[in-house]
Amino acid sequence: MEGFDASRRSAHSASTHVFTFFRQTEPETWESSRAAEVFLTTLQVLKNRAGQRYKRDVKIPELLSWEDVELIAELSQCFPATHLAVCQQSHLNKYRSISGVCNNRQNPLWGAANTALVRWLPAEYEDGEKEPKGWNRGRLHNGFQLPQPREISKEILQSSSKHKEDIYSHLLVEWGQYIDHDITFTPQSTGSAALWTGVDCLNTCENVHPCFPIESDDILSGAQGCMAFYRSTAACSISSGSDIGQALQRQQMNAITSFMDASVVYGYTPKLESFLRDLSGRNGKLAVNNQFEDPKGRPYLPFVATLPSACHQDPQGERVECFSAGDSRVNEGLPLTALHTLWLREHNRIAEALKHINTHWDPEVIYQETRKIIGALHQIITMRDYIPKIIGPESFEYYIGPYGGYDPTMNPSASNVFATAAFRFGHATISPILRRLNKTFQEHETFPHLRLHNTFFSPWRIVSEGGIEPILRGIIGSPAPAVSAHVLMAEEVTQRLVVLGIPQHLDLASLNLQRGRDHGLPGYNNWRAFCGLKGIKTLDDLKKTVRDSKVAEKILKIYKHSDNIDVWLGGLIENLLPDSRTGPLFACLIGKQMKALRDGDRFWWEAEGMFTKQQKTELSKGSLSRIICDNTDITEVPSDSFRFGKYPTDYISCDHIPLMNLEAWREEKSQDSERCTSPAKIKNGDFILSSTSGKLVALYSCYHGFKLKGTAAVVCEGNRWGGQPPQCTGNHY
């Protein structure tokens, strides 16, 4: 979601502080985006100067050679620092890097954090380089002006009708948001970009970078006549190509790893990973909250480092700060926070078990092996239990199909159209009510249902109002709203949405439409052609696709030309495929993305050498129902928690939910390790044991903030370790 909150604050300064906190990203992300802005601004200055001199619009390819562009990129620090040689290091072969770098040895930045979202079709900017569709007021597209997003939202997307109930539980909606946060995060240009122009996007209705306000003539626009909108931050994306113009188009950043790797649990930078780990405990576990735990002594997520935090507080209760997790959006909503809490507990549960099974494992191995299992469970639950329900079994077979092994030629990076349009299909299934249920799956007698806007950035409700169980029961025991073309978006998000830092109500539908234009996404028809689907030329064509003639008529009336239809809207209103929650276009785009994420991931759970046959058998038993059973007070669940069932007839005892046997991870001590005993421990670092060319090797690494001094690898030779272990020097920060 666009990172929204429905607090009713209007105090400008207070909410601005909150906004900057919640949109904050890791320092590496800001450094990378700043470099991209320096690079693009330099090109713009050169263009402007040339334009003034020659009294005409001058394009970059007329001014600069590719060598010039590379030099400017280098001076802007916009060149990647990763070289192929780095990826040959043996410790990167056994476990994923935290940033996703070197997953693909030949293309080390594929799927890595802080790289550009990939383009499956070239961007369509009004100036060919960076200006979004709708930037130049009065510009015609196919002979017509583009309709304003707010107008589209009011005419087509808003609905006061009640959604029909789905065969699936609301967990399907919540898992969609959770797993999206494992794959994509596009930060907005609220900070660094504004430095170049000095523009305050809250106080302008002009299109001046980084501001791209949404025009509106209704109450939502306030006195200004527009809704504030920040453009997505730029990414460094300099790739050699014959078309220098296309190569220099503005690209948007994916701040997190594209891989389905549980970065949502572990983070995507070494600093964040270190913060989330319990390094002092030397047990391979994740850090837990040191102030609160649930009534049964189960842990909550740790608080953020910077206090006081900006999360809402219980007016009558003890202060509860924002929680911290691998993804900064963890506090956006209570179900999301509950899912994060589940996985924290599951990691620590598995780590504890592995420590008992393999007493000779050092803390680093326990942590990495547990992380590997948790990543595999994220992949299994998403690909086996979630995606087939979203795109339908036929599309799953057609676009994804059976696994054929790792394909190093497949780019697993998240695509712009997936992140900005296709995977936002779930916004049409947001429920305006969060239900909280008791042990018999009835409305909770102490903690009643909540309006959506009372659930955002409110971790205090978990600590003070019964833990995560009432929320989890609510999303398992409530049907998901079904999608139809004439009931698209709940008024709670089109009329009463409040984004932190913007002192006016907003509209999620308008934000999504404007975001697609900000990113220069080609139109609906272009994407239908990309997917091999028939183009929409006439009203009859659209009626066949939408199956709701009134909606089709409204769309063509407002857009006036079928080629102007925004891809997010077009995909959203299509008639659903059998047994799916999407139409043909989004089924195609989501299917293609999922195949890329699976086949282009060297560490996919089914890839050769990742797990033993026995371990794969045990992992296949994993399910969200089992994880809920193992980490909460809930004792009865549906066998597939994504399916909505009536209580108690469709529920079974946790005793009958298959259990993963971690004995499959029992590892006998090798003869070498018996001879050499355990390698020396080092301060501020750790080691993992690896077998290289038939020899046992201890591979040392330092925790974030420390530098390795000495040799990283110490070999077991004869009956002792050859050479001294390294030291980790420096100050931890």
Determine the average pLDDT of the residues in 709-729.
87
Tell me: pLDDT of 596 over 80. Answer: yes
Tokens for 506, please give them: 């907003």
Q: Where are the alpha helices (DSSP H) in 360-478?
A: 363-380, 387-391, 393-395, 416-420, 460-464, 469-476
pLDDT of 733 reads 40
Looking from the CA of 30 toward its CB, the CA atoms found within 13 Å total 12
The SS3 call for residue 602 is coil
Tokens, residue 484: 């139809």
Lowest mean pLDDT across 192-206, 351-365, 389-403: 192-206
Which amino acid makes up residue 640? D
Q: How many CB atoms lie within 10 A of CB 721?
A: 19
Q: Token digits for 643?
A: 């399916």
Q: Residue range 691-713: average pLDDT?
A: 84
User: Distance (Å, rounded) from C-alpha 434 to C-alpha 456?
Assistant: 11
Q: How confident is the model at residue 240 (pLDDT cuts 50, 70, 90)?
A: low
Quote the CA–CA distance of 15 and 9 in Å, as a whole number: 7
Q: Which of 98, 281, 270 is nearest to 704 (CA)?
A: 270
The residues, any chain, with a CB within 8 Å of residue 623's CB and separated by 6 or more, are: 381, 385, 639, 640, 641, 657, 658
In one letter, which amino acid is 565?
Answer: I
How far is residue 226 from each of residues 201, 216, 510, 710, 724, measured CA to CA in Å? 11, 5, 11, 59, 65
How far apart are the C-alpha atoms of 368 and 393, rounded to whole Å?
34
Rounded CA-CA distance 491/269 in Å is 38
Q: How many CB atoms lie within 10 A of CB 704?
A: 17
Q: Is the model's pLDDT at 132 over the cut of 90?
A: yes
What does the domain layout of the chain look like in residue ranges?
671-729
Catalytic residue among 163, 170, 181, 505: 181
Rounded to the nearest angstrom, the gap between the alpha carbon of residue 153 and the centroid of all alpha carbons in its chain is 25
Q: Residue 375 has what pLDDT? A: 98
- Residue pLDDT, tens place only, 549-560: 888 999 999 999
- Residue 328 CA, chain-centre distance (Å), reads 10
Catalytic, 181? Answer yes
Smallest Cα–Cα separation from 233: which of 457, 34, 428?
Answer: 34
Query: Between 81 and 143, where is the model more confident?
Result: 143
At 154, list the tokens: 């009011």
In this predicted structure, the answer to whether residue 13 has a pLDDT above a threshold of 50 is no
Q: What is the arithmetic mean of pLDDT over 620-639?
A: 98
Name 385's Cβ contacts closer than 8 Å, sequence gap at least 6.
623, 624, 640, 642
Q: Strand 695-702 to strand 707-709: parallel, antiparallel, or no bridges (unpaired)? A: unpaired
**What confidence tier does 380 reach under pLDDT thresholds 50, 70, 90?**
very high
**pLDDT tens-place string over residues 246-303:** 667 899 999 999 999 999 999 999 999 999 999 999 999 999 999 999 999 999 999 9
Instruction: Give the integer Cα–Cα distance in Å for 28 and 272.
Output: 11
467: nearest Cα among 230, 633, 673, 330: 633
Cα–Cα distance measured from residue 395 to residue 577, given in angstroms and rounded to the nearest whole number? 9
**Per-residue tokens: 285:** 């576990």
Q: Helices (H), strands (E): how many in the chain?
A: 28, 20
Three-class SS of residue 61?
A: helix
Confidence of residue 711 (pLDDT cuts 50, 70, 90): confident
Classified by CATH at the fold level, domain 671-729 comes out as Complement Module; domain 1 (2.10.70)
Q: How high is the mean pLDDT of the chain?
A: 87
Q: Do β-strands 158-159 and 489-490 pair in parallel, antiparallel, or remain unpaired? A: parallel
489 pLDDT band, cuts 50/70/90, is: low
Residue 307 tokens, joined? 């206090």
Per DSSP, 79 falls in state S
- pLDDT of res. 2: 53
Please give the pLDDT value at position 23: 46
How do residues 657-670 score in pLDDT, each as one tens digit? 999 999 999 998 77
Burial of 81 (0-12, 13-18, 19+ CB in 10 A): exposed
Q: Is the pLDDT of residue 197 over 70?
A: no
